[in-house]
Amino acid sequence: MPSVTTTFTTFAEEDRAGSIGGVDTEDWNDPGNAQSNDAARAAWSTSVFPPWNGYTVYLTAKQLTDLVPGGAVIEGVRATIVKRKSASGSGTWQDSAVFLIVGGTVQTGTNKATTTAYTTSDAGETYGDPTDKWGLALSAADVNGAGFGVALSCGIAGAGFGDTDVPQINAVTVEVFYSLPTGAKGDLMLTGSGD
């Protein structure tokens, strides 16, 4: 199966309505740190004091380059996100929302968030599969268009006073599966990482 690998070009944050503390009180420090394979990480922070209960703004990973042949039929998307929390605490960090981004806009088709608790060690988790389009009618133009990517919002419950642990993102990888007009299958891997 053919494949092409590319690195996400844009890492940023985007507001999510109802996030912890409201607009402008929390953010992802250095979201671009999730792009390079080094010790730097994208880490969430907030000016709201614990106990925290709720979810973060989105961390977004996007690319701006053609990925699949024109006219290809998108069969599915599989994402992998490597994540952890910065320290032990009484609260439980886990995904709140994992969505695809198309045309620069977070698409709330199917929320791929899982209930897996974050640990203090890096752990990768996969979302979707070769036949899963995340509740969207994806086309080659969507995948090749500006602003295709993944958005992640992390959630916490049960955090007590004195908890200071925050989520950190090390890597985001997306594999796009497609068929060609001849019926031949291919795949494409997009990566963004910060070890």
| 40-51 tens-digit pLDDT | 789 998 777 777
pTM: 0.89
CA 100 from chain center: how many Å? 8
Q: Please, what is the end-to-end C-alpha distance for the chain in angstroms?
A: 28
Query: What's the Rg (C-alpha) of the chain?
Result: 17
| 119-144 tens-digit pLDDT | 999 999 999 999 999 999 999 999 88
